[in-house]
Amino acid sequence: MTDIAARNTEPLWARARASFARAVAAIGDAASIAMLTALPKKLRRQIIAWLCPLEHAVRKLLLAEAAEIHRAEREAALRAAA
């Protein structure tokens, strides 16, 4: 693990939330999609086009957060040992 974690990811989380809101506006919310008896191919492609990049970005943000937590815990352990 490296020490290259983003120290302030809040602006990136805000962008991810905004992107999700745009996706919901474009393709509908989970409840409206769940009410469909069949998922049309065009809608399926739209859902994938919105959610795949969003999922990718959120996974990277989660990894950055985890790396930051790890770094902070490691620094605290080193200070306690000193």
Q: At what angle do helices 10-27 and 41-81 cross, to 10 degrees?
A: 160
Closest CA to 58 of 7, 19, 8: 19
Query: What are the structural domain ranges in the chain?
Result: 10-81
What pLDDT is recorded for position 1?
42
What pLDDT is recorded for position 55?
97
Q: How many CB atoms lie within 10 A of CB 67?
A: 16
Q: Tell me the mean pLDDT per 10 residues along the chain, length 82.
A: 62 95 94 91 94 96 91 92 86
Alpha carbon distances (Å) from 67 to 12, 32, 61 = 16, 36, 10
The values of phi and psi at residue 18, to 5°, are: -65, -40
What pLDDT is recorded for position 9?
87
What pLDDT is recorded for position 4?
53
pTM: 0.74
